[in-house]
Amino acid sequence: MSSDGSIRVPAILEKKRDGHALTKSEIDFLIAGYTRGEVPDYQMAAFAMAVYFRGMTDGETTDLTRAMLYSGVVLDLSDLRGPKVDKHSTGGVGDKTSLILAPLVAACGAYVPMISGRALAHSGGTLDKLESIPGFRVGLSLDEFRATLHKHRVSFIGQTKEIAPADKKLYALRDVTATVPCLPLITASIMGKKLSEGIDALILDVKTGDGAFMQRYEDSIALAERMVAIGKGMGKRVAAVITDMNEPTGLMIGNSLEIEESIQALRGEGPKDLVDLSVELSAWMLVLTGLQPALEAGRTKVREALASGAGLEIFKRVIEAQGGDPRVCDDTNRLPHAAKRREIRADEKGFLAQARCRAIGEASMLLGAGRDTVADVVDPGVGIVLGRKVGDAVDRGDVLATLHYNDEARLDRALIRLNGAFVVSQDRTVRPPLVLKVIE
């Protein structure tokens, strides 16, 4: 605070740099100023780095979440007659469950107003994936968002000038300033967005392990507990599942590749880990909304929507409603594909013991699926297709991964990053359970 009593940004930065707790007024001042464009990116980047090193108290984290939430409008969706529910993941590699569960849960009777993010560091983003569908618009107006929800029970948008605008800017800044893996910043980013959606219930998929932002199990639990506490404090039904991110989810990593695999999953042909996780999260969504009495009943209902094709039909209609080409659901060749392929093969026989998740996510990003600077444009067709999952038997010469690429220089960087990423051993690795812990 300056001598005349007014708040100054350098003083806020100094206070956080030196490890002191900020007041609600200081946090509100900073986030409101940043949203209006009065606080420049360089000061906000310094703030993010100070929080990264110094952390925040639970009270500061709640204040930051509220400031992010009220940087824009909070949607009133009370005119939708039915429960409104969403899911958010803390970020992973090949984690495309949102695309599968949103239409499935809609097919089971809930509304899913989904506000998502873009690729962040080595993890993918739902918005970038959806934009790889020719014509698909994530930048809907609020009226268009509402109309799509009314008609199809699902709509996907990003943060806008109206909804969670502070997160739109800060998310992009954190992505390129090495300030993503930070409990208070992740909490405020996710809960600020999700609480603005006008939902009744929320399931959080908190990732842990090598490919997660919170790599240590205890940190993932702390993140889950904070987010659940904030959500409940705002009157929502919220639960979090802690899930393993030591290998990518499914087999495909990259924007259009992940759309392709989501379509396969909605056709009932997806890889088991991806389908099981999507069903589990969907079942939680149905239980939290009260549409199903218990998880087992939820799972049965979701599997029915999968088997009948009802989920795929809704996905197709939502793609069309948001300007995309729905024919991709019948023919995934209509999605953009990279021009070239390079295979990585096993040089010994055994079992796949590790597919290092972070390295694979970073390699996909280096191929062009993610960003190095705020201004970078992602390449929709590039990515990595895995040939084996952890625990699978491998013969010498088997394809462990195929890189889909357009640019030789990018391929070279990705191959260097993948050096040692696939480990074959003589013993079969036991895969961890689907859900490691539930926080309610």
Query: For residues 93 and 119, is the Cβ–Cβ distance under 8 A?
Result: no
Per CB under 6 A, 186 contacts ligand URA:
yes
- The residue within the footprint of ligand URA, chosen from 72, 83, 91, 298 (CB under 6 A), is 91
Diameter over CA atoms, the chain: 73
From the candidates 88, 236, 299, 404, which is the catalytic residue? 88
The C-alpha atoms of residue 171 and residue 130 are separated, in whole angstroms, by 18
Q: Which is nearer to ligand URA, 159 or 322 (by Cβ)?
A: 159
Per CB under 6 A, 262 contacts ligand URA:
no
Q: How far is the CB of 94 from ligand URA (least distance, A)?
A: 15
Residue 303: beta bridge partners?
A: none
Q: How far apart are the first and last CA of the chain?
A: 39
Three-state secondary-structure class, residue 266 = helix
345 is catalytic: no
Q: Which is nearer to ligand URA, 205 or 263 (by Cβ)?
A: 205
Span of 10-18, 186-194, 313-321, 379-387 interacting with ligand URA by CB under 6 A:
186-194
- The token pair at 314 is 């809704």
Site size for ligand URA (CB under 6 A): 10
- Only one residue has tokens 């999507």, namely 278
Q: How far is the CB of 188 from ligand URA (least distance, A)?
A: 8
C-alpha torsion angle, residues 408, 129, 399, 355 (rounded to 10):
100
207 is catalytic: no
Burial (CB count within 10 angstroms: exposed 0-12, middle 13-18, buried 19+), residue 293: exposed
- The residue within the footprint of ligand URA, chosen from 190, 195, 314, 385 (CB under 6 A), is 190
Per CB under 6 A, 196 contacts ligand URA:
no
From the candidates 63, 95, 167, 210, which is the catalytic residue? 167
- The token pair at 47 is 């703030």
Per CB under 6 A, 424 contacts ligand URA:
no
Q: Which is nearer to ligand URA, 90 or 264 (by Cβ)?
A: 90
- Sign of the Cα torsion 409, 255, 157, 272 reads negative
Per CB under 6 A, 231 contacts ligand URA:
no
Per CB under 6 A, 275 contacts ligand URA:
no
167 is catalytic: yes
193 is catalytic: yes
Three-state secondary-structure class, residue 120 = strand
Per CB under 6 A, 120 contacts ligand URA:
yes
The C-alpha atoms of residue 8 and residue 110 are separated, in whole angstroms, by 45
* Strand pairing class (393-394; 350-355): antiparallel
Which residue of this chain has its Cβ atom nearest to ligand URA in the complex?
Answer: 189
From the candidates 66, 152, 174, 236, which is the catalytic residue? 174
Query: Active-site positions?
Result: 88, 167, 174, 189, 193
